[in-house]
């Protein structure tokens, strides 16, 4: 039984590592009706332009993602795009976005497989849904089941940023998510999530709990 005790010992050694690894991202339900955020890339003639619009789905399960990007480089793709943890600060430097939205600890070491999106970093949008191929324009829309439009939940993205990268992860451009009509689309400069509450666009007949009352601190930042 020497080999089995050896195996047990090995297992005991490996177990803590295994347990500290990722847990599957849960499918998000109950997203507030009408919630929508837009990240508008800065208008720059030498960089990709366009928008990322992420909204609650009509049934509140997951989110509806609309990507519309133009002026992409002719090479260097497939381009990647992720939701990063921090909003870009007032310097406009994309590196201030920090790391990816990864509340379930998938980590950078894990290679995202679109067949198992629950195991990917929640913010790894191109990993889960495909990168942006070389070419001038890119338009796609899809449902992502793992993002939340409910402020304060682990997979909430509305106070964060999106970063577009070359295939080699070099940063191309970035933008903050904002509420439509809230800040002119150019982003919030607030350092953390405290200021931006869940946006709730009133929809006739919808019930959104107490969230509507918490929409405060709409900042107009021209970063």
**Interface residue list for Cu ion (CB under 5 A):** 82, 163
- Cross-strand partners of 38: 53, 178
CA 72 – CA 132 distance, rounded (Å): 9
Q: Which is nearer to Cu ion, 82 or 160 (CB)?
A: 82
Q: Which is nearer to Cu ion, 35 or 175 (CB)?
A: 175
Q: Which is nearer to Cu ion, 147 or 163 (CB)?
A: 163
CA 52 – CA 42 distance, rounded (Å): 12
Shortest distance in whole angstroms from residue 165 CB to Cu ion: 5
Shortest distance in whole angstroms from residue 161 CB to Cu ion: 9
Shortest distance in whole angstroms from residue 126 CB to Cu ion: 9
Contacts made by residues 46-49, CB under 8 angstroms, sequence distance 24+: 47/71, 47/172, 47/173, 48/72, 48/73, 48/79, 48/164, 48/172, 48/173
Shortest distance in whole angstroms from residue 202 CB to Cu ion: 33
Q: Is the sign of the CA dihedral 177, 174, 148, 52 positive or negative?
A: positive
> The sheet that has 49-56: what strands, in order across it?
36-40, 49-56, 63-70, 138-144
Q: Which is nearer to Cu ion, 80 or 198 (CB)?
A: 80
Q: Which is nearer to Cu ion, 39 or 163 (CB)?
A: 163
Residue with the CB atom nearest Cu ion in the bound state? 82
Shortest distance in whole angstroms from residue 123 CB to Cu ion: 8
CA 52 – CA 166 distance, rounded (Å): 17
> In whole angstroms, how large is the CA radius of gyration of the chain?
19
């Amino acid at each position: 039984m020497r080999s089995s005790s050896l195996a047990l010992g090995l297992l005991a050694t490996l177990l803590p590592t295994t347990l500290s690894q990722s847990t599957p991202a849960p499918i998000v339900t109950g997203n507030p009706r009408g919630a929508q955020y837009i990240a508008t890339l800065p208008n720059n003639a030498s960089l990709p332009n366009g928008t990322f619009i992420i909204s609650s789905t009509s049934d509140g399960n997951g989110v509806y993602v609309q990507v519309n990007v133009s002026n992409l480089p002719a090479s260097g793709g497939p381009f990647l795009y992720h939701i990063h943890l921090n909003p870009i600060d007032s310097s406009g430097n994309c590196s201030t976005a920090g790391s990816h939205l990864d509340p379930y600890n998938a980590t950078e070491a894990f290679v995202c497989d679109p067949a198992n999106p629950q195991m990917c970093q929640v913010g790894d949008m191109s990993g889960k849904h495909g990168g942006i191929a070389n070419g001038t324009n890119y338009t796609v829309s899809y449902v992502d089941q793992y993002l939340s439009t409910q402020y304060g939940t682990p997979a909430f993205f509305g106070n964060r940023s999106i970063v577009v990268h070359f295939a080699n992860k070099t940063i191309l451009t970035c933008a903050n998510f904002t509420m439509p009509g809230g800040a002119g689309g150019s982003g919030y400069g607030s350092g953390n999530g405290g200021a931006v509450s869940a946006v709730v666009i009133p929809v006739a007949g919808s019930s959104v709990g107490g969230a509507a009352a918490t929409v405060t601190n709409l900042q107009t930042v021209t970063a």
